[in-house]
Amino acid sequence: MRLRRLRRTPALRSLVREHRIHPRNLILPVFITEIEDDPTEVASMPGVFRWPVNRLEKVVEAATAARVGALLLFGIPADKDAVGTQASAPDGIVQRGVRELRRVGFDGVVITDVCLCEYTEHGHCGLVGKDGTILNDPTLERLADTAVSQARAGADIVAPSAMMDGQVAAIRDALDEDGFQDVAILSYSAKYASSYYGPFRDAADGAPRFGDRKSHQMDPPNDREAMLEHEEDVAEGADILMVKPGLAYLDVLRRTREEFPYHPLAVYNVSGEYSMVKAAAERGWIDERSVVLETLVGFRRAGADLVITYHALDAAAWLSDQD
């Protein structure tokens, strides 16, 4: 009976609750497109849209009302080539998106994804050799150029996700040399070669045209290796660390929190995790609100400071209702 005394009423449970999540802990991913003229729902991600630049004001209105912590931008360009030229173009889709967010008055945090997969005709995260090998060092210059271009457009944080060795150092050096010492780096420091990414690749037109990403993304059975990835990125200048995906890697998230207690830590509640919840909820098998909020507080309990999630707008509204 002693342990149940403080569970008896909602007020008592709230009083002694150990972990809470707030809308400011949530980061909303946003897909910006040059292909569609109108917002277009992603078939495999109900409720998620690809947004033309000239319609981003709607995103700003929703994000501001929800009080989410930040927006994380991904671009879908009209033109792709072997080296992902549009990733670093001054008038690239993400660069234009950042400037539009500022033009319409968004004063929150803007994060930009730094990778080449959405911009290359082969769909890989880096440059590709004649034998199909992903070329690490030549890719670093492209990633650095992309990060600088996004910083010039007004990004607060750049988020390298290509999982190339040395990418954080290359980006930090390039930002500093161009006068962007204050632009922070959110590193996808432990990004696994996961099966949970399928819907994202639909949304971003980013699926590889051949092969896979196992040569550079982490092998799912490994957790000690993740600590080495974090350690290298910290040494290279990462300001925020990340574990991606979330649900199948809560042990990695917890271990990261314990071994890197002083760094802000993000987790990516990825597209497959989102779509599974949406599909089950549509069939009436689960209560979406309860499952989402339970999942988000689980990330916080495991040690995440920030949660990148496609549920961000709905979750923020539900959290406000709780208050």
| Bond preceding residue 245 cis, omega within 30 of 0 | yes
Give the list of residues 6+ apart from residue 12 with CB closer than 8 angstroms, or none. 5, 6
Q: In 3D, which of 112, 83, 107 has the Cα closest to residue 95?
A: 112
Beta strand 157-160 with 241-244: parallel, antiparallel or unpaired?
A: unpaired
CB count within 10 Å of CB 85 equals 17
Question: Following DSSP, what letter does each residue of 287-321 receive, concatenated?
Answer: -HHHHHHHHHHHHHHHT-SEEEETTHHHHHHHHHH
Q: Residue 121 and residue 98: Cα distance in Å, rounded?
A: 24
CB of 261 closer than 8 Å to CB of 189:
no
CA dist list (Å): 225 to 191, 220, 294: 11, 10, 28
292 vs 129: CA distance, rounded Å: 42
Q: What's the rounded Cα separation, in Å, for the pair 66 and 64?
A: 5
Residue of 58, 80, 191, 214 with catalytic role: 191
- The answer to whether 80 is a known catalytic residue is no
| Cα–Cα dist 171/236, whole Å | 9
- How is residue 7 annotated by DSSP? G
Of 58, 130, 214, 244, the catalytic one is 244
The answer to whether 300 and 19 are in contact (CB under 8 A) is: yes
Is residue 140 within 8 Å of 166, Cβ to Cβ?
A: yes
> Catalytic residue at 191?
yes
The residues annotated as belonging to the active site are: 191, 244
